[in-house]
Amino acid sequence: MALATPPDLSDTDVPVQPLARTYPRGLFIEPHQHVWGQLLYAMSGVMWVETPNEALVVPPQRAVWLPPGVPHGIRVVSDLQMRNIYLRPSLAATLDSQVQVLQVDNLLRELIVRLVEQDQPQPEYYEALVGLALLELRRARRSQLKIPLPDGGERRLMNLCQAVMAAPSLAISFEQHADAAGASVRTLARLFKDGLGMGFAQWRRQVQLATAAAELIQGVPIGSIARALGYSPSSFSDMFRRELGVAPSQYGAEQGLRAAR
C-alpha cells in the first residue's frame, strides 16, 4: 500500500505517483496546486472539490481529474477513503485539459486501486497497468455534478456559497445565510446575479440536485434525502424530475447499473 505521505513530484522518471489517505468528516484541505496532473478517487465517502470557477461533488464511483496547475481545495462531507494518482506532466498532457468528474466503472476502479497498492511491481506489468489506466480514463463517462462558484474576490458571496454546500436545506433561508455572511439580502442577491448569472434559489437548487445525486448513487433512501434538504418526499421527487427529467428512483438505479459495468 502506498504511504500516506505526499509523493515526491520532482521525480519525473516514474510515470505515476500513488497516495492513499483517510480523511475525517468536516475536514477542509486548503486550496493548493500541483505541477503533476492528479486523479482524486474516493473508495468511500463524499467530498466537494472546489476549483477557482466551480465546485464538484464527488461520491463513490466518481473521480475528479485535475490537470496540472489547477488550484483546488477539498471539503470532506463524510469519512473519506481517498486513493490519489499523480501523473507526470507529459502523461497528464494526454488527458483532458479541463477539470472533469469521471464515472468510475469496475475496471477503472480496480486499476486505480492496483496502481496505489503496488509496492515494487515488475516493470512490464507496471507499464501495462499504467497504459490501460490511461485508456480507461480517456474513455470514462463524464459527469455533470458541477456547481459554478464566484471568483475569490468577493469573500461574502464565497462564504455564503460554501455555507450552502455544507447545509443546502430549504430550512435555512436566504436571510439567515446573508446574516451569517455579513451582508444584506439585497447586496447578496445582486452579487449572485453579477457573479454567477443566476439567483440564489436557482443556485441552491443546483447544489441540492448535486447533493441528492451523490446520495442516490450511494443508495440513500429518497425519503431521507428529501427530509435532509427540507422537502417532502413528493415535492422532492417533483423537483428532481422537473430539473433532471428523470425520477430520483430511476436516476439512482441507472447510476448504480453504470457503476457496476
47 neighbors 80 (Cβ within 8 angstroms): yes
101-133 tens-digit pLDDT:
998 989 999 999 999 887 766 888 888 999 999
List every span in the chain annotated with CATH 1.10.10.60. Answer: 151-260
Helix (H, G, I), strand (E, B) or coil at 61: coil
Torsion of CA 21, 26, 31, 32, to 10 degrees: -10
Residue 129, Cα to own-chain centre: how many angstroms? 25
Helix (H, G, I), strand (E, B) or coil at 107: helix
Which helix (DSSP H) or strand (DSSP E) does residue 260 occupy?
Answer: helix 248-260
Query: What kind of architecture, by CATH, is found in domain 151-260?
Result: Orthogonal Bundle (1.10)
**First CA to last CA across the chain, in angstroms?**
26
DSSP state of 141: P
199-253 tens-digit pLDDT:
999 999 999 998 998 888 888 999 999 999 999 999 999 999 998 888 998 887 7
Candidates 2.60.120.810, 1.20.140.10, 2.60.40.2580, 1.10.10.10; CATH matching 16-143: 2.60.120.810
Give the cell for residue 19. Answer: 497516495
Residue 44, Cα to own-chain centre: how many angstroms? 13
List every span in the chain annotated with CATH 2.60.120.810. Answer: 16-143
139-191 tens-digit pLDDT:
998 877 788 998 766 788 988 998 999 899 999 999 999 999 888 999 999 99
pTM score of the predicted model: 0.79
24-78 tens-digit pLDDT:
988 999 999 999 999 999 888 889 999 988 999 888 878 999 999 999 999 998 8
